[in-house]
Structure 1
Amino acid sequence: MSTTLQNDLLIRAALSQQTERPPVWMMRQAGRFMPEYWEIKNKYSFLEMCKTPEIAADVTMLPVDLLGIDAAILFSDILVTAEAMGGDLSFEQGVGPRFSNPVRSAADAERLSTDCLHKLQYVADAIKVIQQRLNGSIPLIGFAGAPFTILSYLVEGGSSKDFKLTKLLLNNEPQLAHRILQKIADVTVDYLNMQIEAGVNAVQLFDSWALALSWNDYQEFSHQYNKYILSRINRTVPVISFCKGSSVFAPIMAEANPDVISVDWNSDLKNIKKTLPEGIAVQGNLDPFVLYAEKRVIKDKILQLFERMRGENGFIFNLGHGIMPDIPFDNVKYAIDLVKEFRY
């Protein structure tokens, strides 16, 4: 795959090959911190943006054109799989995603469809449009939400601070939880394979809420399904595994055999890398809040991280989580330019 790309830094780093500098992209890089995003968002609903291939491509290309990052990531949402399975999804300003028909009983679980890939065709269509526009310049990353994270949204009916209903399900009705998780995992395998077939150059599995779980529950209700997905997708492109909590769960995550583990900002990146099997790269792990700071601070923190990782193959620069909506655009641009000027 790397031979067809003009800039294949991300692919090489993901495969733990030597790079002249760390590649850089940022989670939520096509988002609300850009005025240009709002020009589009003010005309369409969020789901319209996701489901219209030309608009999804427009938004995907914003950080490519305005920031000069080393990889694009498909503009979409992790919850499109849950919607395709039968979740009645809406996005409310200031509230976030909502499911008006939460999944809390065996009957609700039975209703979830696994034969729903056709409903996600708009994602494959968007990938093709984006790849035409990228024209081999940089890699395109596809993605999906991991089963536990999708389950939590379906059970809670939206975002949650304490995941009380989800944990009640795991504790009181573990068999029902497993039934739902398996359905989500099967859809996720089909969905990622569809993206790979449509032409993405890498994929990332987002387990955004894994941090809510204990060590044992993570193994039972998250890891085994992530491992199932990674063992069944077409591994012709690098696979990045991300969760909030990766600083704790990285040793277990490695057992699923991803190419890259994306690490939150709570740990020392080099220490994590040293605990991983040879050949697993790391991505991360700047605290996104650093990007609110003065530029001299941003520079210091990034260079500290780079000094720490000097001599390590398999390092992709990213944030420990996504960019916040009110981070100054100039600070994000400054950080990316700084990374691109760096040389080992």
Structure 2
Amino acid sequence: MNQNVENSLFIRAAQSKQTERPPVWMMRQAGRFMPEYWEIKNKYSFLEMCKTPELAADVTMLPVDLLDIDAAILFSDILVTAEAMGGDLSFEQGVGPRFSNPVRSKADADALRTDVVDKLQYVADAVKETQSRLNGRIPLIGFAGAPFTVLSYLVEGGGTKDFKKTKRLMHNNPELAHLILSKITKVTIDYLNMQIEAGVNALQIFDSWAQALSWDDYEEFSHRYIKEIIAGLNRQNVPIISFGKGSSVFAPLMAEAKPDVISVDWNANLRTLKDSLPAGIAVQGNLDPYIFYADKEVIKKRIYKLFDSMRGVDGYIFNLGHGIMPDFSFDKVKYAVDAIKEYRY
């Protein structure tokens, strides 16, 4: 790892070392709240942006250049693994991701391919292109979707509010659910190791829909697979962040998978949760993203209150409890980043 990157605030915090202030990056930091993003998006489809390394690097670099954050996250999507496995993926404006061939039967599951890492080479190329542009300025985070979250999109055929088809599958045919999850897990291990080889400095596993699960179902259908993924990574000096909406509840289980960092939603008291975790696991989070609809002084006050509560903690990365919303004011996000960079413990 580049010496600058190794000594960066982000990597030090992710390794539970002391930092003079919390490092800052934000989920969806290179997204639709930026006019510059739309300049690119209006010329290309979302999947074209993901699959063209130069474009993916262009979008990844936007918050680096415009917000001056402490870590970049590769521009991609959690569903590229599902597409590589055989999902017919499209993105509809205002609707989101769609799979025209949902996975509902044993035959559908058997058709999912697992030897697909070569189909994801464009992501490795995007990592290399982005790292050449970053040139050691700040770390680059790669990522993948967690198996349960990816399964839910494959089974539902897209986004869902009630997870009806997913839960029906889990409860009525758990063997089939586990077959699909096992296949996604294998692909995810290969995919993340490919990103490590390509040069990412950290990885985040996104279990965006974990909060749809009960404790027992999370343990059976999510946690065991995330544990398997983390155990299968060539993670020397590459911190692994585990994120789940539901982390305020599931953090004790998440810790058992031995990530370096747990990213926490905004429902928990972050200091209390951190103090409950085993030593050596850092935390990331957990500002309520919707605070960005408030006035600037309210945003700053809320961030500093969070920071004051984390004073004396080794291993804290600032982030939102989830992602930046498309209608957030860029000006307020930039103001927040600047306020964070002024703070000292």
Q: TM-score, normalised by structure 1?
A: 0.99
Amino acid at match of 2:280: G
Kindly report which structure 2 residues correspond to 1:112-261, keeping only aligned pairs within 5 A, or say none.
Answer: 112-236=112-236, 237-261=238-262
Corresponding position: 1:34 with 2:41: no
Q: Quick check: 1:230–1:258 contact (8 Å CA) kept in 2? A: yes
Kindly report which structure 2 residues correspond to 1:38-117, keeping only aligned pairs within 5 A, or say none.
Answer: 38-117=38-117
Look up the SS of the partner of 1:326 in the other structure.
coil
Q: Quick check: 1:27–1:318 contact (8 Å CA) kept in 2? A: yes
Runs of at least 5 residues in structure 1 that lack an aligned partner in the other structure? none
In 2, Cα distance between equivalents of 1:17 and 1:307? 18
In 2, Cα distance between equivalents of 1:157 and 1:50? 20
Q: Quick check: 1:7–1:137 contact (8 Å CA) kept in 2? A: no
CA deviation digits over 1:51-104, x for unaligned, max 9?
A: 000000000000000000000000000000000000000000000000000000
Amino acid at match of 1:229: I
Q: TM-score, normalised by structure 2?
A: 0.99
In 2, Cα distance between equivalents of 1:106 and 1:88? 18
Look up the SS of the partner of 1:5 in the other structure.
helix
What does residue 3 of structure 2 align with? 3
What does residue 322 of structure 1 align with? 323
Look up the SS of the partner of 1:290 in the other structure.
helix
In 2, Cα distance between equivalents of 1:136 and 1:46? 27
What does residue 273 of structure 1 align with? 274
Give the CA RMSD over aligned residues: 0.8
In 2, Cα distance between equivalents of 1:235 and 1:329? 34
Look up the SS of the partner of 2:322 in the other structure.
coil
Amino acid at match of 1:231: A
Which one is further off, 3-12 or 43-52?
3-12
In 2, Cα distance between equivalents of 1:87 and 1:6? 37
Shift in CA distance, 2/312, structure 1 to aligned 2, threshold 3 Å: farther
Q: Quick check: 1:2–1:12 contact (8 Å CA) kept in 2? A: no
CA deviation digits over 1:293-317, x for unaligned, max 9?
A: 1001001100100010011110000
CA deviation digits over 1:151-179, x for unaligned, max 9?
A: 00000000000000000000000000000
Q: Quick check: 1:7–1:139 contact (8 Å CA) kept in 2? A: no
In 2, Cα distance between equivalents of 1:273 and 1:2? 29
Q: Quick check: 2:6–2:12 contact (8 Å CA) kept in 1? A: no
Runs of at least 5 residues in structure 2 that lack an aligned partner in the other structure? none
Compute the displacement of 1:5 (Å).
2.2
In 2, Cα distance between equivalents of 1:71 and 1:167? 36
What does residue 333 of structure 2 align with? 332
Compute the displacement of 1:291 (Å).
1.0
Compute the displacement of 1:125 (Å).
0.3
In 1, Cα distance between equivalents of 2:304 and 2:126? 36
Amino acid at match of 2:316: F
Amino acid at match of 2:271: K
Identity %: 76
Q: Quick check: 1:24–1:316 contact (8 Å CA) kept in 2? A: yes
In 1, Cα distance between equivalents of 2:3 and 2:135? 13
Q: Quick check: 1:2–1:8 contact (8 Å CA) kept in 2? A: no
Q: Deviating runs (4+, > 6 A) in structure 1?
A: none
Q: Quick check: 2:5–2:11 contact (8 Å CA) kept in 1? A: no
Compute the displacement of 1:292 (Å).
1.3
In 2, Cα distance between equivalents of 1:41 and 1:65? 18
CA deviation digits over 1:117-173, x for unaligned, max 9?
A: 110000000000000000000000000000000000000000000000000000000
In 1, Cα distance between equivalents of 2:318 and 2:77? 22
In 1, Cα distance between equivalents of 2:126 and 2:215? 37
Amino acid at match of 2:249: V
In 2, Cα distance between equivalents of 1:7 and 1:334? 25
Q: Quick check: 2:51–2:122 contact (8 Å CA) kept in 1? A: yes
Look up the SS of the partner of 1:302 in the other structure.
helix
Amino acid at match of 2:127: I
Look up the SS of the partner of 2:318 in the other structure.
strand
Amino acid at match of 2:274: K
Compute the displacement of 1:4 (Å).
4.0
